[in-house]
Amino acid sequence: MSKRLDGKVVLVTGAGSGMGAEATVRFAKEGAKVVACDLNLEAAKKSVDAAEAAGGKAIAVAMNVAKEAEVKAGIEAAVKAFGKLDVLYNNAGVFPSDDHSVVDTEEKVWDFVYAVNVKGIAFVCKYGIPELLAAGGGSIINVASFVALVGCSVPQDAYTASKGAVIALTKSLAVQYGPKGIRTNAICPGPIETPLLTAWLFKEPAEKAKRLNRIPMGRFGRSEDIVNAALYLASDESRWTNGLAMVVDGGITSNYF
């Protein structure tokens, strides 16, 4: 029986933990050859081990997406290992605790957040798009956020603005490269139980309850909730889906009270 991603080569950034680790395993189980990229090479290797234990094929690549030279080298390593690229899954992102309102967030925080969340995607696309074109087309999946679509009384303005930029870049790439066989879409997750979120939120019961009460489904999202959407966008099932900002948030952006 054929699998949803048979024959495809998928590059995953931020593959060492959370949604990236989940994606590495799930994409591999669905038949893809996966290039697991992460700032932490040992973490990426653990994701690769899990993918191979599930019967898939994957390699680990050290990559700081904020460093153009490292992205270029990582793309080259991917093509050398598997011969092509079909899917770019831009999952790497940062959400620093010292990101607050514009009035009290330091310049270094803005620089750090934009370097990873926006420039990181731009660099992967800069070197990845030519490879997708060489393969005859493909799919770019950018992880944005529900906070790019709504305001928040407990702001993380650098993160929020960066994810708005991700959606805007997604739309631009969809128009530029759709005619050339590359579809570009964004996923906008709601609050997801990943190390990035739980490291601080689950230690603050009042803050956790405040956010949980806004979600009609009654729980935070899980990595697999987002990766399920990513599987659709990576597969040929989404061949006419382009320029979408897919909100997967348990209904939080629909909740007025």
Separation of alpha carbons 244 and 171, rounded Å: 8
Separation of alpha carbons 110 and 106, rounded Å: 7
* Residue 49 buriedness (CB in 10 A; 0-12 / 13-18 / 19+): middle
- Phi, then psi, of 111 in degrees rounded to 5: -65, -45
Rg of the chain over all Cα atoms, to the nearest angstrom: 17
Q: What tokens does 157 get?
A: 């303005």
Separation of alpha carbons 178 and 183, rounded Å: 5
Establish whether 177 is a catalytic residue: no
First to last CA, the chain: 47
Which residues fall within 8 angstroms of residue 189, CB to CB, at 6 or more apart? 19, 143, 145, 146, 221, 225, 226, 248, 249
Catalytic residue among 89, 159, 177, 232: 159
Quick one: DSSP state of residue 236? G
Residues marked as catalytic? 159
